Structure 1
Amino acid sequence: MLHEIQEGYVKVEAQSGGITVIEFFHPQGNSLPAAILNELAQEIHSAGLQNETKVIILRSAGSGAFCAGASFTELRAITTAEEGKKFFSGFAHVINAMRKCPKLIIARVQGKCVGGGVGLAAAADYAIALEGADIKLSELSIGLGPFVVGPAIQRKLGLSAFSQLAIDAATWRPADWARRKGLFAELHPNAEDMDESVQRLANELAHAHPEAIAEIKKVLWEGTENWEELLQRRAATSGVLVISSYTKAALEKRKKKE
């Protein structure tokens, strides 16, 4: 199943043995416009409801960036706080879909992660990455903050590591730093080894007791029951900031460098 979204897509592939692969693509570094966020949330929710699906692999296309985060084109087009909240709610919907999905989600991270991309990796239950998959939360540098994705990142890395990323918004943290802090469960020297590990784990989980998997998922996400409301409040905060004169100027300055 392939959903064309302007220049990008979300593609769902059902592999044998109960493995469902959800892949997203956008030519701007696998960035996330609203349409892709919406499709990702829907497909993750749908896969979680299907008895045929035993485990989900979340991946992006290509050999470059895993995810460049929010679409700057769409950020620049936002003119009201309500529009801003609606856009950032897209990240909330994806994270909550991943959180509530009764199937375990493995993230295949083949390249750099920025902003919302770090959030996707953190919201996965297990992330397997490639050396060079460095991470950065760049939001503060354009007058925003990692508000919506923050709870997922803080949950996985802890407050100290999250605060380092959020405050020093211009600095890339090496993939090994991300592994040591708990974002990545594994780090591999080449794509072949990474894919072999992803497939191995997916095959093992596909043969596990589905009810045990669902119960483990509940345990892993205990204490996040308020995220429906929390992430919407965070989206509203981002919605106000994105239309500020500071952020508009920063986005225009960034556009000139693109």
Structure 2
Amino acid sequence: MEKGNVTLEVENNIGTITFTHPQSNTLPSQLLELLTHTLTNAGKDDSIKVIILKSGGNKAFCAGANFDELISISDFEMGHNFFLGFANVINAIRLCPKLVIGRVQGKTVGGGVGLAAAADYCLACTSAMIKLSELTIGIGPFVIAPVVERKIGFSALSQLTINATEWKNPEWAKSKGLYAEVYETTDELDEAVNKLAVQLSRSNPEAMRSLKKMFWKNTENWNELLSEQAAISGKLVLSDFSKKAIENFKSKMVKK
């Protein structure tokens, strides 16, 4: 549990994938690999008709990249492979033949916004504010940019990317298409997520597979595209600017 975990529970043709990490559900490479593997296997499981993607706890949905691992990156290959982990999760959702419902209960940053955008349908709580903070540590949301832009458009993506210290509230995210609906409480959120999942679990699997292909039209080159984007971040994270910025961020967190 100290390194985080990913679980898959299957009930009544609904597969619920939950990722957890003690540091606000950050995503180190080991967890990204496990999440990719779990999503891929769920897509192949005939007993699963629809997938719910969620994180553990009632606070942050996902704090994005794990800073302990970011600061340990010492060469380009390590950096590329780390950011490729986010690309692999996005591609696993993209290639999964099942519809994926995102359940966002709290704040989400960076790669967590990418997960919400990759979900085929995303529901959130009023505490689910979003931020792309990558520029503050000398990199950028290069890997998740294609999937975020696909969901909310170029203008909204650029606003999030450039104003990297500002939180956007869930209503803003809903107005841009990231969230389909926003609920006052987690109980209401869970009720809505479960209701939709049950509805989809009773729908025609072949029709849903065809819809999924339609939704992700023109993304056939994303294996290569996201790898190229990961290489940009993998190079930038080695800069002196990024190293110092990450160290400063970590020291502030320790003082808190």
TM-score by length of 1: 0.97
Q: 2:83 — aligned with what?
A: 88
Q: 2:167 — aligned with what?
A: 172
Q: 1:56 — aligned with what?
A: 51
Runs of 4+ off more than 2 Å: none
Q: 2:138 — aligned with what?
A: 143
The answer for unaligned runs of 5 or more in structure 1 is none
CA-to-partner distance for each residue in 1:64-119, whole Å, 9 max, x for gaps? 00000000000000000110000000000000000010000001100001000000
Among 116, 122, 126, the residue aligned to 1:121: 116
- Measured in 1, the distance between the counterparts of 2:162 and 2:218 equals 25
Q: 2:94 — aligned with what?
A: 99
- Measured in 2, the distance between the counterparts of 1:7 and 1:78 equals 17
User: What fraction of aligned residue pairs are identical, expressed as a percent?
Assistant: 52
Q: 2:27 — aligned with what?
A: 32
AA in 2 matched with 1:29: S
- Measured in 2, the distance between the counterparts of 1:214 and 1:14 equals 19
AA in 1 matched with 2:7: K
Q: Does 1:252 align with 2:247?
A: yes
- Measured in 2, the distance between the counterparts of 1:132 and 1:194 equals 11
Q: What is the CA distance between 1:191 and its match in structure 2?
A: 1.0
AA in 2 matched with 1:10: V
AA in 2 matched with 1:70: A
- Measured in 2, the distance between the counterparts of 1:47 and 1:12 equals 8
- Measured in 2, the distance between the counterparts of 1:251 and 1:200 equals 41
Q: 1:21 — aligned with what?
A: 16
Q: 1:227 — aligned with what?
A: 222
- Measured in 2, the distance between the counterparts of 1:191 and 1:255 equals 30
Q: 2:210 — aligned with what?
A: 215
Q: 2:4 — aligned with what?
A: 8
Q: What is the CA distance between 1:255 and its match in structure 2?
A: 1.3
Q: What is the CA distance between 1:8 and its match in structure 2?
A: 1.1
CA-to-partner distance for each residue in 1:176-208, whole Å, 9 max, x for gaps? 100110000010011111111000000010011
- Measured in 2, the distance between the counterparts of 1:154 and 1:47 equals 26
AA in 2 matched with 1:216: L
Q: What is the CA distance between 1:7 and its match in structure 2?
A: 3.1
Matched residue SS, 2:149: helix
Matched residue SS, 1:108: strand
- Measured in 2, the distance between the counterparts of 1:226 and 1:8 equals 31
AA in 1 matched with 2:86: F
Q: What is the CA distance between 1:155 and its match in structure 2?
A: 0.2
Q: What is the CA distance between 1:132 and its match in structure 2?
A: 1.4
- Measured in 2, the distance between the counterparts of 1:102 and 1:9 equals 24
- Measured in 2, the distance between the counterparts of 1:58 and 1:10 equals 10
The answer for unaligned runs of 5 or more in structure 2 is none
Q: 2:40 — aligned with what?
A: 45
AA in 1 matched with 2:9: E
CA-to-partner distance for each residue in 1:219-243, whole Å, 9 max, x for gaps? 0000111100000000111100001
